[in-house]
């Protein structure tokens, strides 16, 4: 964009297949309110050749990232907390740090996030690092918020470049946890505090998810299929979510303003999350 901001997502072969998450993700930009333009600024990081080939078929900006693990294959679904999953999420943090070093601001978005309105209107220009939440407590500057780094807006400056290197290095201290949990552990670290980096948490009113849905269709910008286990469950519920959105946008303006109903989801995702918690 004009201010050197790029939108970035990442993709593997399972999520890139026709009818899978990538198609639903791109559809959200197309049916969203003034979100079509953002597809022009979206770069898709691909973890394998299968994802890269599909991306190039349907999207103009694709970048295949090299794995640093020998014999690794990321074309299949990388199940939560498996070695492939952990390798991907930490390689992602390393890559995003390099983007900051090149002088680009970025919005990182998980591919299971639906873009329904322009999110930039709700970013604070004074903040260095802004991230979505699994649960938002009402105070955007409170470090006790429960973050979900699936959507983050990060300015390129000395503070954030240092922070992403610090964050990536924390994978050596916490080798068996993923990037989001590591962020939650280091956000109050004395070294982070000493950098005076302004960390802001995004309200689920505008940046909702299945953990804590946005309750107002008149305000929602993005919705994330978080608190959901299994690719098929995500696809099922995201398609229902987009149909909810299409039903909403088809209403006359006066009916939209009077609308108090929110979403028909989570459905499959709620069941999948309950089962996961029962096993744990």
What pairs with residue 208 in β-bridges?
223
Place of tokens 């940046």: 207
The DSSP symbol for 40 reads G
**pLDDT per 10-residue tile (average), the chain, 280 residues:** 96 95 98 97 96 97 77 48 69 96 98 98 97 98 96 98 96 81 92 96 97 94 96 97 96 86 90 65
- pLDDT given for residue 122 in this prediction: 98
∠ CA 99-103-106 to the nearest 5 degrees? 55
Q: Which two tokens stand for residue 274?
A: 């309950």
136: Cα within 13 Å, side-chain hemisphere: 23
CATH number of the domain located at residue range(s) 5-210 in this protein: 3.90.550
- pLDDT given for residue 101 in this prediction: 98
pTM higher than 0.85 = yes
Considering just the CA atoms, what is the radius of gyration of the chain in Å? 18
- pLDDT given for residue 81 in this prediction: 47
Do 131 and 152 touch, CB atoms closer than 8 A?
Answer: yes
- pLDDT given for residue 176 in this prediction: 76
- pLDDT given for residue 125 in this prediction: 92
- pLDDT given for residue 174 in this prediction: 79
- pLDDT given for residue 79 in this prediction: 46
Distance CA 164, CA 96 (A): 8
- pLDDT given for residue 74 in this prediction: 52
């Amino acid at each position: 964009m004009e201010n050197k901001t790029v939108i970035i997502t990442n993709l593997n072969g399972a999520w890139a297949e026709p009818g899978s998450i990538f198609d639903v993700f791109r559809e959200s930009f197309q049916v969203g309110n003034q979100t079509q333009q953002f597809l022009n600024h979206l770069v898709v990081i691909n973890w394998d050749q299968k994802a890269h080939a599909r991306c190039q078929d349907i999207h103009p900006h694709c970048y295949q990232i090299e794995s640093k693990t020998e014999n690794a294959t990321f074309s299949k679904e990388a199940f939560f907390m498996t070695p492939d999953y952990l390798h991907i999420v930490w390689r992602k943090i390393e890559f995003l740090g390099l983007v900051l070093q090149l002088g680009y601001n970025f919005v990182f978005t998980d591919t299971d996030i639906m873009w329904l309105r322009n999110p930039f209107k709700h970013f604070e220009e004074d903040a260095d690092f802004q991230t979505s939440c699994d649960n938002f407590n009402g105070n955007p500057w409170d470090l006790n918020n429960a973050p979900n780094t699936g959507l983050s807006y990060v300015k390129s400056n000395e503070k954030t470049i240092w922070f992403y290197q610090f964050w990536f290095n924390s994978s050596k201290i916490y080798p068996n946890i993923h990037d989001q949990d590591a962020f939650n552990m280091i956000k109050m670290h004395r070294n982070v505090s000493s950098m005076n980096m302004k960390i802001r948490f995004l309200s689920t009113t505008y940046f909702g998810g299945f953990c804590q849905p946005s309750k107002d269709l008149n305000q929602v910008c993005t919705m994330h299929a978080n608190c959901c286990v299994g690719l098929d469950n995500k696809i099922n519920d995201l398609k229902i979510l987009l149909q909810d959105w299409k039903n909403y946008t088809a209403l006359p303006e006066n009916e939209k303003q009077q609308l108090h109903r929110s979403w028909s989801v989570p459905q499959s995702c709620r069941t999948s999350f309950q089962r996961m918690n029962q096993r744990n």
